[in-house]
């Protein structure tokens, strides 16, 4: 494992409050080298309820969602492993927070 593995710049794709907590590069992956990014929303972050827009706190789930960036020309396969997070809304309950890379227009597809 190369400790100096270069992580692609995803600052444009990853927005607050999502935070990269780890990254692992695998150069033996086929057909392209692969970078796994582990992201999560730190628990108790200020988030917006996706249903009613309330300001509320985030809580983390145990599961992991995996998304891969299949964008061509990057020479690398970017895999985002995100810990599921919920907005804990006092008015309407817990709602899963969407990753903006779930946007159909993004280059990511769910694995």
DSSP-derived letter for residue 19 is E
Q: Which helix (H) or strand (E) holds 12?
A: none
Candidate list 69, 89, 97, 108; residue touching Zn ion; CB under 5 A: 89
Structural contact between residues 49 and 32, judged by C-beta atoms closer than 8 angstroms: no
Distance of CA 54 to the CA centre of its chain: 22
Does residue 51 touch Zn ion according to CB under 5 A?
yes
Q: Which is nearer to Zn ion, 56 or 76 (CB)?
A: 56
- Are 22 and 38 in contact by the 8 Å Cβ rule? The answer is yes
Q: Is 46 in the site for Zn ion (CB under 5 A)?
A: no
Task: Mark the segment that binds Zn ion (CB under 5 A) among 9-17, 36-44, 67-75, 84-92.
Answer: 84-92
The residues binding Zn ion (CB under 5 A) are: 49, 51-52, 54, 89, 91-92
């Amino acid at each position: 494992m190369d400790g100096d593995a270069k992580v692609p710049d995803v600052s444009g794709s990853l927005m607050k409050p999502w935070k990269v907590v780890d990254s692992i590069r695998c150069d033996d992956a086929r057909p392209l080298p692969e970078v796994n990014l582990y992201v999560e929303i730190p628990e108790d972050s200020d988030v917006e309820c996706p249903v009613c827009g309330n300001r509320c706190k985030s809580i983390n789930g145990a599961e992991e969602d995996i998304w891969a960036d299949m964008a061509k020309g990057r020479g690398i396969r970017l895999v985002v492993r995100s810990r599921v997070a919920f907005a804990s809304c006092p008015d309407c309950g817990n709602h899963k927070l969407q990753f903006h890379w779930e946007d159909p227009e993004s280059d990511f597809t769910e694995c």
